[in-house]
Amino acid sequence: MQQLKLSARLIKSLPLSSLPSTPSSTLQQIASSHSKGIAKVVLKKGKTQLFKDGSPMVYSGAVDRIIGRPPPKTGDIVLVADGTEKPIGWGLYNSVSMFCVRLMQLEEEAMRDPSCALDMKKLLETRTNAAIELRRRLGLPSSHTNAYRLVNSEGDRLSGLIVDVFGDLAVIASSAAWVENYKPEVEACINRIDGINHINWRPSVDILREEGMDVLDMKEVHPSTCPERIKVMENGISYAISLLGQKTGFYADQRENRKFIATISNGQKVLDICCYSGGFALNAAHGGAIDVTGVDTSMPALELARENIVLNNLDPGRISFLREDATQFMKGALSRNESWDIVILDPPKLAPSKKVLQSATGMYRNMNSMAMRLTKKGGLLMTCSCSGAMTQSGMFLRVLQGAASMAGRKISVLREAGAASDHPIDPSYPEGAYLSNILLRVS
């Protein structure tokens, strides 16, 4: 990974006051009042527009030079400027990460509301309050749903911070050095929310290591008192959630897609492949499916799924969960000439980065080809990709077309969806779009 090297070539060690004057800006005026001075990261010619449009991740290759003495340290607030040294925004600096600045506020925003300018604590409070208000307008939480995403990183203008709410518990997922550095302030913002009684902090260790954090120091100084397992409700269906499970413990991003499955399952035979704790399968059964089978390799996940059958008073004769590798299960089912009216395929992230996209493409094609063959002619396949690299490549539909050819089937697209509405995506940062959910008619 490319790292930003702070060398004499990049650092112009001059006090800001001795530099040639540039047109006044709100951020420059506020920065000049800071006693310690604020360094300025100057972008290369032609690199400015991407960030003026709102992309928050300033990569080291876009930086021409850094002005300030002493040089900025990781965690410092810095100005980000165009080639004429006029500020376009401000953000938090990182001397180690390939993303040397996470932009937090643009100059135009500071002009409209200077109260948050160069003040991370105030900005955090303002953005968190905006996120709370957005979810309130979306009807979250409600009497039938108390599991939802409160803060969605770039989508809520807080790059590197995710907060999922499960009843009276907030799970905070940190994937940026600034989030770790402002941990007390983040927790204070979340603790002020009505109904939140517990916080579970989950650092993304691998990503934070790339951010230059000492991951060995990330153990809780005060161990969390929240329970390891809790119960939540989503669209009227109860779920047991393990805080030791994957991601934040529950995939709230599929909420609206799970609800859709409930609306089309009446009287159908349904197969849920890579079912985790049974989200799609439970919705199918709740929607009147006559037979539902869920398949996953994780025993802890399947234990949750079976517990969820009991929680929802579902007939265990109509819904069952099997522990088996998805590919091996599909091969076995094909050998037995089994088929289903509706098949859901929601595999784990097969393409965690663009580097492995080509090999992952083959895995997606093979799995979907088998899933299509297991779908009755005229039946429905809901297929998902949670790999950002695949979703952003625009290749997923072509992969599905290749899978159909491989299976000797014809497909037509009935519905395309992304994550639930409480997972906003910043269009200036398309890398935030990771979930692709496509409903196919298979014939």
CA distance 375 to 440: 10
Q: What is the pLDDT of residues 178-233, one digit of tens each?
A: 999 999 999 999 999 999 999 999 998 888 888 888 877 665 444 556 788 999 99
Structure tokens belonging to residue 196: 């939140």
pLDDT over 70 for what percent of the chain? 92
Q: What is the pLDDT of residue 430?
A: 65
Residue 5: pLDDT over 70: no
Place of tokens 């230059």: 212
Q: What is the pLDDT of residues 257-305, one digit of tens each?
A: 999 999 999 999 999 999 999 999 999 999 999 999 999 999 999 999 9
pLDDT category at 15 given cuts 50, 70, 90 is very low
| Mean pLDDT across the chain | 90
Q: What is the pLDDT of residue 217?
A: 67
- From 22-36, 260-274, 335-349, the region with the lowest mean pLDDT: 22-36
Residue 12: pLDDT over 50: no
Place of tokens 């009497």: 143
Q: What is the pLDDT of residue 228?
A: 86
Contacts 24+ apart (CB under 8 A), 329-336: 329/273, 329/295, 330/273, 330/367, 330/370, 330/371, 330/374, 331/370, 333/374, 334/370, 334/373, 334/374
Give the chain's length: 443
Q: What is the pLDDT of residues 398-431, one digit of tens each?
A: 999 999 999 999 999 999 999 999 999 887 776 6
Please give the average per-residue pLDDT across 17-37, as a whole number. 72
pLDDT over 90 for what percent of the chain? 75
Q: What is the pLDDT of residues 80-111, one digit of tens each?
A: 999 999 999 999 999 999 999 999 999 999 99
Name the burial class of residue 411, with classes exposed (0-12), middle (13-18) and buried (19+) by CB atoms within 10 angstroms of its CB.
buried
Residue 16: pLDDT over 70: no
Per-range mean pLDDT, top range of 56-60, 96-100, 319-323, 415-419? 319-323
Name the burial class of residue 22, with classes exposed (0-12), middle (13-18) and buried (19+) by CB atoms within 10 angstroms of its CB.
middle
Residue 17: pLDDT over 70: no
Q: Which residues pair with 174 in a beta bridge?
A: 161, 203
CA distance 345 to 330: 11
Q: What is the pLDDT of residue 218?
A: 65
pLDDT category at 2 given cuts 50, 70, 90 is very low
Is residue 154 classed as helix, strand or coil in its secondary structure? helix
DSSP state of 143: S
How many helical (H) and strand (E) elements, i.e. helices and strands, does the chain have?
14, 20
